[in-house]
Structure 1
Amino acid sequence: MLRETWAEIEPGRIADNLRAIRGTLPAGVKLMAVVKANGYGHGDLETAEAARQAGADYLAVAFLEEALRLRAGGATLPILLLTPIRPEQVELALAQDLMLTVTGAEWFRELRRQVPSLAGRKLRVHVKADTGLGRIGFRTEAEWDALVPWLAAPDIDVDGFYTHFATAGQADTAYLERQARQFAALMERSKASGIAIRHYHCAGSVAALRFPGLALDMVRIGAAMYGFYPGHLAPPVELEPALSLHSTLMQAKRVRRGDYIGYDNAYRADADEWIGTVPIGYADGWSQRMQGAAALVRGQRAEIVGKISMDQLMLRLPGPCAPGDRVTLIGRQGGERVSFAELAAHIDGPSQAITTALTERVAKIYASAKEVRCPWNNAYFQPQRQEPTVI
């Protein structure tokens, strides 16, 4: 029997989230579903298929390897690489019908040096402008002007022109407005250059939900398709997380007041209490920052106590429990819930930092499946699905 620690994922919720988001957008706006980082930890092929079923127009990933995996898995939607690739990798991108992010004239100079001719094929690109995030992209009108002759070549198809906001999730919108004005100016410059550009896009999940006027021709939906968005800032929209995380108790033991638990004696019992050991740790992506967070056992909350180790963590149980009892680290048991918002606040980070941290040691089971495949040895087990017993 394999270690019973698994994530349950409902692709149908991802599709429903995308449909709900599309319903908030102006008519005619295209939707690019961002499935980078293994679908934000939900599974890249599964989330790409859910996006297709929900009517997404494009997919986006961070790196070439991610796009190649999608193509090998049968994904047929247009795919944009959000990170530039090396010019010598263009042949591979062309063979897989991928769209590339470009940021400057120097990249094209190097491309033409290495690949003088595309042999009748067209390279589709999206030009990235840095309007204030400070990562990648050209920043000035002069840099755009230097790009124009390269973009005007007959074998280059400029499918898009885009930027990304740095503060869309903050209540203060002053910096976002500054970026939007900068992007609008660069858009006008691009239109005046005579380059035919098919799509302009600047809004990710939060900006698209908060400011429909920024939708332009297309929006890039990442976090929100998985159910993550700042509900206190965005208008009401029905989005549901698609992932829950579960394990089981390996052991439950009664400890005495004053007993220590975990490495470095990081926790000392203040009274006689029950401690449960759970087979998940920081090697699974449940980092030591989760110390003090809650999990659910028998429908009640249980605090993670002591330092989380590589393979295990300990819970202060609400009372006597038994090995095999289900532990929910994300999701619901009975009337209790551990939400992504709660955990994100605990680690002072975004919800997607939690799901993308889950490693291959955490097997995934998709809705309606009766078994789950362990990713490193293709063995199968049936996760326990008992209803929690209230102590």
Structure 2
Amino acid sequence: MLRETWAEIDPGRIVDNLRAIRGTLPAGVKLMAVVKANGYGHGDLEAAEAARQAGADYLAVAFLEEALRLRAGGVTLPILILTPIRPDQAELAASQELTLTVTDAAWFRELRKGRPAPAPGGRKLRVHVKADTGLGRIGFRTEAEWDALVPWLAAPDIDVDGFYTHFATAGQADTAYLERQACRFAELMERCKASGIAVRHYHCAGSAAALRFPGLALDMVRIGAAMYGYYPPQLTPPVQLKPALSLHSTLMQVKRVRRGEYLGYDNAYRSDADEWIGTVPIGYADGWSQRMRGADVLVRGRRAQVVGKISMDQLMIRLPGPCAPGDRVTLIGRQGGERITFAELAVHIDGAAQEISTALTDRVHRICANEKEVQCPWSSPYFQPHRREATVI
């Protein structure tokens, strides 16, 4: 590692989280582990391997490219692509035994231009049908749209493996909108069953809904944020979730500044007393955006505030006292009795924990920090091919 800015990933914690979550589910419910966006910044192949070891039944990704990367890395679990792909890519997906999200009849009409008459006994295209019950992103919305889909889904070369929706407010204390969505999905499920289309998996619950409302588990749950240790900070999960990522750097320079001196671009910070200032080699090109201005980091087990504008490659912190170049700076994780959590930072940016981890770019080295003997595939060039002693997160 040439640059002293790194993230430590503990895949054993992903395994623990998934096993704990599975323990809360009703018997027979399958678990889909979501490893999109490079495993929420933790490494896609590494997250997929941890999910396999935890007994996940399915994986989910956002895009076809992500699914193909997993297959190229030796991942054999079923994979659902959550975002619809182009119809002309369907044969490639089928050849890799990938499952597609479909939302409308127009997609199938376009598909048939390149995949006309189904051949008896030929390879089937496995799909999950997405219903929009109130999130508003993708999915069919009306009974008429569903009725238009039915003839296409009934074709002998189409395997309808799933039928699903996404909740918009599962992480909020007020459950009224979630209840409306759940009722709407129940109506659409009944319409689906009445149409004669055989569906193996009905699923609607992501991390928050699966942990808060076991009755919404249906046939399968989609666990994304929670497998990495994230959960809405205003709610208490019924299991202990462990964050699997910590983020560290070092002090590259320490200086004493006088009262009234300016620091950073645009003179954005002016010291109101004599202060110790440290410079840290991480910036917005690493994914530590300017919204982190004013957030705390840890140095020598004490909190230090980010001051001035965060630049592309560096940021500055107001130190609690004299420190030395080379001292460890923890941006996420624990030092001594202090801890910086994803939940704290999510509140600071008015965002989500996963927004922080997925923003970390490939300039930030990932290091496997195994507290247990959990295999790290190391087939991803995104990671450094060595281990570092685990930091207690």
TM-score, normalised to structure 1, is 0.94
Structure 1 counterpart of 2:113, one-letter code: R
Question: 1:101 matched to which residue of 2?
Answer: 101
Aligned ranges for residues 131-170 of structure 1 at < 5 Å?
131-170=133-172
Partner of 2:297: 295
State the partner residue of 1:75.
75
Match of 2:341 among 339, 342, 352: 339
Alignment check: 8 A CA contact 1:209 1:234 kept: no
1:116: how far off? 1.1
What is the CA distance between 1:379 and its match in structure 2?
7.7
Matches within 5 A, 1:363-378: 363-368=365-370
SS of 1:240's equivalent in the other structure is coil
Cα 1:92–1:382 change in 2 (3 A) is closer
Please, which moves more after superposition, 117-126 or 6-15? Answer: 117-126
Aligned to 1:253, the other structure's residue is in SS state: strand
Sequence identity (%): 82
Give aligned pairs, total.
Answer: 384
Partner of 1:245: 247
- The 1-side partners of 2:89 and 2:168 are apart by 29
How has the CA–CA distance of structure 1 residues 357 and 321 changed in structure 2, closer, same or farther, with 3 Å as cutoff?
same
Q: Aligned match of 2:179 in 177, 180, 188?
A: 177
Q: Is the 1:2–1:381 Cα contact (8 Å) retained in structure 2? A: no
The C-alpha deviation readout for 1:191-232, integer Å capped at 9, x for no partner, is 001111001000000000111100000000000000001254
The 1:378/1:29 distance shift into structure 2, 3 A limit, reads closer
Amino acid corresponding to residue 181 of structure 2 in structure 1: Q
Please show how residues 167-206 of structure 1 align to structure 2 within 5 Å.
167-206=169-208
SS in structure 2 of the partner of residue 56 of structure 1: coil
Helix, strand or coil at the partner of 2:359: coil
Give the match for residue 375 of structure 2. Answer: none
Provide the rounded CA distance (Å) in 2 between the counterparts of 1:367 and 1:20.
Answer: 20
Distance 1:131 1:366 in 2: 40
Q: Deviations over 1:27-83 (max 9, x none)?
A: 100000000000000000000000000000000000000000000001100000000
Whole-angstrom CA distance in 2 between matches of 1:23 and 1:319: 46
* Whole-Å separation in 1 of the counterparts to 2:305 and 2:368: 28
1:216 is the counterpart of 2:218: yes
Q: SS of 2:91's equivalent?
A: helix
Q: State whether structure 2 residue 42 is matched by structure 1 residue 42.
A: yes
Provide the rounded CA distance (Å) in 2 between the counterparts of 1:377 and 1:105. Answer: 39
Over the aligned positions, Cα root-mean-square deviation in angstroms equals 2.0
1:275-314 alignment, distance < 5 Å: 275-314=277-316
1:8-38 alpha-carbon deviations (Å, 9 max, x no partner): 0000000100000001110100000000000
Contact 2:366/2:384 (<8 A) preserved: no
Alignment CA distance shift 1:131-1:256 (3 Å):
same
Supply the AA of the counterpart residue of 2:128: H
- Which amino acid is 2:214 matched to? P
Structure 2: 5+ residue runs without aligned partners? 372-377
Cα deviation, 1:213-264, whole Å, max 9, x if unaligned, reads 0000000000000000125434421101000000011000111111111111
Offset, 1:267: 0.7
More displaced stretch, 234-243 vs 18-27: 234-243
Displacement of 1:301: 0.5
CA contact under 8 A between 1:360 and 1:376: conserved in structure 2?
A: no
Cα displacement (A) at 1:170: 1.1
Q: Which has the higher contact order (CA 8 A, sep 6+)?
A: 2
1:2 deviates by 1.4
Taking a change above 3 Å as real, the CA distance of residues 295 and 384 of structure 1, as seen in their structure-2 partners, is: farther
Query: Secondary structure of 1:247's partner?
Result: strand
Q: Give the conservation status (yes or no) of the 8 Å contact 1:326–1:384.
A: no
Is contact 2:369-2:387 (8 Å) kept?
no
Secondary structure of the equivalent of 2:231? Answer: coil
One-letter code of the match for 1:262?
Answer: G
